[in-house]
Structure 1
């Protein structure tokens, strides 16, 4: 008797992974090297842990991070193993826009790519123009909903329209990536709708979809809105990204690069079966700290 371990979905998952492209933000990150046992993210300049949003999956308030630069000593400016600096991985940097400007100037003085990560609330055309003139390469805006109601449930803030309009505005001037967190059983259809909106109404270049990471400190609130049994299923994440890509054929819809490179070459049968470990300790910055401002 012949036992068939593969089916149509296996081939589909393999093709999805094969056709996904690495996000521009991930280029140069150590996480793309699958032979690196302890990869570090890009060096980062941290400005604040304050934020107008209180996202139910966010780890920024769950750990203490000092203002400064992680990974590059501003005195000797050794950038031998770096291609980019991220502003910032914790908190909302645009609460202090003058510091963001200084961070961009410093990064570009080192001839490195500069990626700004923001919730999008404080953006405006004047600021975006200034960032462009200073040489900002990528702006990444977080948005994980297509309606004000769901956005408020996720962020605790009534800022959906403002964030969406600022994404549209930023995308006219700077390479813009929208970062989404997929919460199984909660926002799948909204992410599909969001991709369609961005394709129709903006010049966004990328949508990067992150699988949900659960920390003990935010587990209770997350359990109240998502299907915990679905968390971490690679198949669901890939099928979602594929569907979003169909709704936004002119936008690069992808997943984070370190995950993508690990999924490449995996048989479709395994892609259909494996589950990521999505329960994690709160991440800490591995790179060495230096005062900056």
Structure 2
């Protein structure tokens, strides 16, 4: 005999039913109230009418990085030979450009040069810097000109940071958050990847730490699991089932929002806003089945150097 979810809930008892419905409704309200991350503004992934959305442009400086994060898609791309070569990936008259989606841009000695060139070539575009922050100093910051700065931090302690990044740079990243957060010449974002079993208990602490420096926003991102980093996740203690649960991602976001303006990936958020409360409560496979594959493309005819 087949049962509806309501019949099954009744068999489990009224209290269980009420508790589950209440939590589902709370998650739904939380999602409906969430704003799209600032970085995601102008991305085609926000428009559900576009069948094959393309990210807003990026300028890639290098695939190299001084961190070796267990979750990093750049490392996977390098191993697969799919990391983009340095250059501009985009089109004329962009509304936003990111430096960069792969590697650590502050490794490159051309970071200031490229920053100034993009500002001159595309004066109307929002310029975003995506960095792990470990190489950002006061001196370098004074030479840069960005509208949005995203600094990656996935741990609230030096020990956990070392476990995740394989780099003893926690204090330097925290200092970068202070430099950017206190300046206010650019919108500042702490970018954190949700890894339950590894860093989920630290995420509210990261939010509190970032907020203490005046960071404007936390961009909490779901984890993308690839076969090339799956074993590293197992050794680190990742809870694979919870890592793919929308419910677990949102519950952690709700805790972090007590301290800072938390937002989740825009192309995922627009999908979640379409769901009813119980679907939202039970959906899994966050990045593979819910969020669309948002591609990038390089237009070689756009010569900006």
TM-score by shorter chain over 0.5 = yes
**Closer/same/farther in 2, CA of residues 191 and 202 from structure 1, 3 Å limit:** same
Instruction: Give the corresponding residue for 1:54.
Output: 68
Question: Number of residue pairs matched?
Answer: 276
Considering only CA atoms, is the larger Rg found in Structure 1 or Structure 2?
A: 2
What is the CA–CA distance in structure 2 between the aligned matches of 1:15 and 1:172, rounded to whole Å? 32
Instruction: Give the corresponding residue for 1:258.
Output: 267
Q: Is 2:86 the partner of 1:67?
A: yes
Contact 1:214 1:279 in 2 (8 A): no
Instruction: Give the corresponding residue for 1:25.
Output: 39
The answer to which of 87-96 and 54-63 deviates more is 54-63
User: Which structure exhibits the higher relative contact order, with contacts defined as CA atoms closer than 8 Å and separated by 6 or more residues?
Assistant: 1
Partner SS for 2:202: helix
Task: Give the 4+ runs in structure 1 shifted more than 6 A.
Answer: none
Contact 2:148 2:187 in 1 (8 A): yes
Instruction: Give the corresponding residue for 1:128.
Output: 141
Instruction: Give the corresponding residue for 1:245.
Output: 257
Contact 1:85 1:113 in 2 (8 A): yes
Q: 1:175 aligns with which of 187, 191, 204?
A: 187
* Cα root mean square deviation, aligned: 2.1
For residue 130 of structure 1, report the CA deviation from its aligned partner. Answer: 1.8
The answer to which of 225-234 and 82-91 deviates more is 225-234
Post-superposition CA distance 1:90-128 (Å, at most 9, x none): 00110124x222332233231100000001011011221
- Structure 2: 5+ residue stretches without partners: 10-16, 78-82
For residue 284 of structure 1, report the CA deviation from its aligned partner. Answer: 9.3
Contact 2:193 2:221 in 1 (8 A): yes
- Map 1:1-293 to 2 at 5 A: 3=7, 7-63=21-77, 64-72=83-91, 78-79=92-93, 82-97=94-109, 99-109=110-120, 110=122, 111-131=124-144, 134=145, 136-173=146-183, 174-199=186-211, 201-224=212-235, 225-246=237-258, 248=259, 251-278=260-287, 286-290=296-300
Post-superposition CA distance 1:236-263 (Å, at most 9, x none): 11111111011x1xx3111011111111
- Structure 1: 5+ residue stretches without partners: 73-77
For residue 87 of structure 1, report the CA deviation from its aligned partner. Answer: 0.3
Partner SS for 2:244: coil
What is the CA–CA distance in structure 2 between the aligned matches of 1:143 and 1:231, rounded to whole Å? 18
